[in-house]
Amino acid sequence: MKSMVKKIAILSMAGMMQVGFGASLIEASPLHTERSSVQQQDDRKQIENERHEREMKRRPNESEREWHERQKLENQRHKENLR
């Protein structure tokens, strides 16, 4: 009876170790990782910079005064979004 209990204890400990190793491997796999906040912030800045470049260009049939006024507003908005 004692030998049976020892065998069960040893096999259950070995099984628990295998589960632990498997869980650590799953956590370390690249498919499981999420994008870090730094990467998300970099993407957001890149999108904002591209939008800003498009908005700063002069539009057809836009007077120079309107264009400069729009540039001022766009520069303010751009600074706010990058904070």
* Angle (CA) 19 25 27, round 5°: 105
Taking the whole predicted model, whether its pTM rises above 0.75 is answered as no
Q: How far apart are CA 56 and CA 62, in angstroms?
A: 12
Crossing angle for the helix pair 37-56 and 64-82, to the nearest 10 degrees: 170
Q: How far apart are CA 65 and CA 72, in angstroms?
A: 11
Q: What is the pLDDT of residues 31-67, one digit of tens each?
A: 756 677 788 888 999 999 999 999 899 999 999 999 9
Backbone torsion region of residue 78, taken as left when φ is above 0, otherwise alpha when ψ lies between -120 and 50, otherwise beta: alpha
Q: What is the pLDDT of residues 41-50, one digit of tens each?
A: 889 999 999 9
Report the mean per-residue pLDDT for the chain: 87
Domain ranges of the chain: 42-82
